[in-house]
């Protein structure tokens, strides 16, 4: 599968921060029960890589990858842990070269036309607009549609159930990324049933 294939798996990509790898499998099970089979575990904690490894090994039905990938070393570690793809908040030659050399599906973060053009020069077909709300959101994506008609986006940052359909209605948006369906407090309390409910509610609201 390539990056676009992963982005097309679900209209909502959960953006997950895990502080305890023991939560990894029950959380992945909860997302699957809620109808979502992709998750982005951000490299913002020491538990991230171990969590990715556990899910990749024990729950192959879940397409697990990493977010907040900042350099080639992190990207390689994600691959070694079994992560299927990498999201980054930005774009760099280092990450683009690593993804190409190691054949890792990569979704770079972009916020400007120049960054989209850089991604296109490296054969990238799907980007993460980040932080979406702060850099122009829907209006920026509408502006990108003209000169970059073939580029697809996963806007992340400031996305919620209240505005997700405004983004998903755009022809150049494949999916949205969001953390609202995986609240850290629910994870900390092991309230995974609530997370399943949030997933079902969000998917049911997609138009």
CATH number at 95 reads 3.20.20.70
Residues shown for the chain: 207
Q: Is residue 56 part of a domain?
A: yes
Annotated catalytic residue 200: no
Q: Is residue 112 part of a domain?
A: yes
Q: Is residue 80 part of a domain?
A: yes
Q: Looking at 8, 128, 184, 200, which residue is catalytic? A: 128
Q: Looking at 8, 40, 142, 201, which residue is catalytic? A: 40
Q: Is residue 204 part of a domain?
A: no
Q: Is residue 207 part of a domain?
A: no
pTM score, whole prediction = 0.96
pLDDT of the chain along its 207 residues, tens only? 999 999 999 999 999 999 999 999 999 999 999 999 999 999 999 999 999 999 999 999 999 999 999 999 999 999 999 999 999 999 999 999 999 999 999 999 999 999 999 999 999 999 999 999 999 999 999 999 999 999 999 999 999 999 999 999 999 999 999 999 999 999 999 999 999 999 999 999 999
- Percent helix, strand, coil in the chain (nearest 5)? 45, 15, 40
Q: How far is CA 21 from CA 71, 74, 92, in A?
A: 23, 18, 29
Annotated catalytic residue 128: yes
Q: Is residue 148 part of a domain?
A: yes
Number of domains observed in the structure of the chain: 1
Residue 171: the pLDDT is: 98
Q: Is residue 35 part of a domain?
A: yes
Radius of gyration of the chain from its Cα atoms, rounded to whole angstroms: 16
Residue 76: the pLDDT is: 97
Q: Is residue 146 part of a domain?
A: yes
Domain hosting residue 123, numbered range: 3-199
């Amino acid at each position: 599968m390539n990056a676009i294939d992963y982005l097309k798996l679900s209209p909502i990509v959960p953006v997950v921060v895990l502080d305890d790898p023991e939560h990894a499998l029950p959380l992945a099970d909860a997302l699957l029960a809620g109808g979502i089979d992709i998750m982005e575990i951000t490299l913002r904690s020491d538990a991230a890589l171990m969590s990715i490894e556990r899910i990749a090994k024990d729950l192959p039905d879940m397409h697990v990858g990493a977010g907040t990938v900042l350099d080639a070393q992190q990207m390689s570690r994600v691959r070694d842990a079994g992560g299927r793809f990498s999201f980054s908040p930005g774009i760099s030659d280092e990450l683009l070269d690593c993804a190409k050399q190691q054949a890792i599906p990569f979704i770079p973060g972009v916020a400007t036309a120049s960054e989209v053009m850089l991604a296109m020069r490296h054969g990238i077909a799907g980007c993460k607009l980040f932080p979406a709300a702060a850099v122009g959101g829907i209006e920026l994506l509408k502006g990108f549609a003209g000169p970059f008609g073939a580029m697809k986006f996963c806007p992340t940052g400031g996305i919620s159930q209240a505005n997700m359909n405004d983004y998903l209605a755009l022809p150049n948006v494949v999916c949205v990324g969001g953390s609202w369906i995986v609240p850290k407090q629910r994870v900390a309390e092991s309230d995974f049933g609530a997370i399943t409910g949030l997933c079902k509610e969000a998917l049911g609201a997609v138009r």
